[in-house]
Amino acid sequence: MTEIALRPGGWRLGAAAFAALIARDLRVLARMPASFLLRTVVNPLMFVFVFTYLYPRIGAGRFGQVAGQSLATIALPGLIASAIYFQGLNAVALPLSMEFSATREIEDRVMAPVPYAAAALAKVCCSAVQSLLAAAVVFPLAYLIPAAPVRIHIASWAALILALTLGSLLAGCLGLLLGTVVEVRKIALVFAVTIVPLTFLGCVYYPWASLHSIRWIQILVLANPLVYLSEALRAALTPSLPHMSTLASLPVLAAITVLLGWAAITTFTRRVLT
């Protein structure tokens, strides 16, 4: 594959092949709109409905208030972050695990005239598009469903776009890593034991600063990448609430994305070669 890239016009051919891999995945999605929409809409819809409509209506929302803001306002950035993660993992991990074992479709993909790393990145980029769509779905739901008004003020468009982009790529990289190292018969178990801790200890429903009274947990959750995405979105969307500085959350989010991407591409290449 490297030899092709080094030939005259090889980079053009590689770029076209890379775009074709992404277009292929997007076309498959377009041919199954019902399943894609259900996977994209149902999770954000249920999260928004339960935590921003049901909780306040039964009187439970007041227990989650911080700085006088409703639970809907506090949780919205975290709900967007969790929607990105769920979509990214579902879009890559399980399909890729199937391609490596049952369908063997991965053999057709790696025959494209691009390095194996580029084939892996195409998977990540396609899942990032789906994650961004899932994030976009949460915004209208947050205005239509909540019982209490959601107060959003976009403090920085640049920080918001960067956080959404990094989070979507990170979710795809994590899905790529799980899809290459976990056998298909164990992938459901891995999801079961990782998704719940990742979410509930990811500062989705509360700001990271509110954990100051339980210092050891506040330090422990810093190992969770979802914390940095939730806090970066909180800083961009609800700056009046306590939040981690974007000078801390965004660089860490970028570093984790690069490290996870490198690990995922390495395991993907090794899995293809073996």
Domain boundaries, the chain: 2-273
pTM comes to 0.85
**pLDDT 10s per residue in the chain (274 long)?**
444 444 545 566 667 777 777 777 777 777 777 777 777 777 778 877 887 778 777 766 555 555 566 777 888 898 899 889 888 888 888 788 777 776 666 766 667 667 788 888 888 988 898 899 888 888 888 778 876 777 888 888 999 999 999 999 999 999 999 888 887 777 777 877 788 888 888 988 889 988 988 999 999 999 999 999 999 999 999 888 888 999 999 999 999 999 999 999 999 888 888 7
User: Where do runs of H (alpha helix) occur along the chain?
Assistant: 2-6, 10-30, 33-48, 55-57, 71-101, 106-109, 116-144, 157-181, 187-200, 215-220, 225-237, 246-273
Q: Which of 188, 229, 172, 164 is nearest to 94 (CA)?
A: 188
* Cβ-based neighbour number of residue 17 at 10 Å: 18
69 bridge partner residues? 66
